[in-house]
Amino acid sequence: MTVIRVQRDDFDIGKEIEALRKGSTGIGAIVTFTGTVRDAHGEVTAMTLEHYPGMTEKELARVEAEAHARWPLQASLIVHRVGRLEPGDNIVLAAAASAHREAAFEAARFLIDYLKTSAPFWKRESGPSGDKWVAAPP
């Protein structure tokens, strides 16, 4: 099972994980990562995330399929928000479920590393000094 959603609305982490594991008794490990908007130094009042509908989902499906090819996953999940978000808001949820924890950890790290560095999302931070585009980390 794979789930990919790009949406404006917030998500409920517990409900997402429950849906991911529903009906699957072969799952022994679920590793999740939740990313949130942070304002560590009073410099971010909002973050706006943009994407190209259709292209983004296709690319997320490609990377999720790659994770399933590399690790023995029973299920995976990517939920990524777009639009204007404020500090403390959820941005992304990535999860990998497998019979064993090692595969789940490795696949979850692969998914979130891709989302952080290469996924087709564009981020603009707003703060007291104005707006600025955020470059993806290397």
Q: In this predicted model, what pLDDT tens digit does every residue of 19-31 receive, in sequence order? A: 999 988 999 999 9
End-to-end CA distance of the chain: 30
Range of the domain at 106: 2-129
Q: How many domains does the chain have?
A: 1
Amino acid identity of 104? A
Is 138 part of any domain?
no
CATH of residue 14 = 3.90.1170.40
Compute CA 72 distance to the chain's CA centroid, rounded to the nearest angstrom: 20
pLDDT value of position 129: 86
pLDDT value of position 91: 97
pLDDT value of position 96: 98
- Residues lower than pLDDT 50 in the chain: none
pLDDT value of position 23: 85
Phi, psi of 31 (to 5 degrees): -110, 130
Is 30 part of any domain?
yes
pLDDT value of position 84: 97
Pair type for strands 90-98 and 29-36? antiparallel
Is 31 part of any domain?
yes
pLDDT value of position 63: 97
What's the whole-model pTM score?
Answer: 0.93
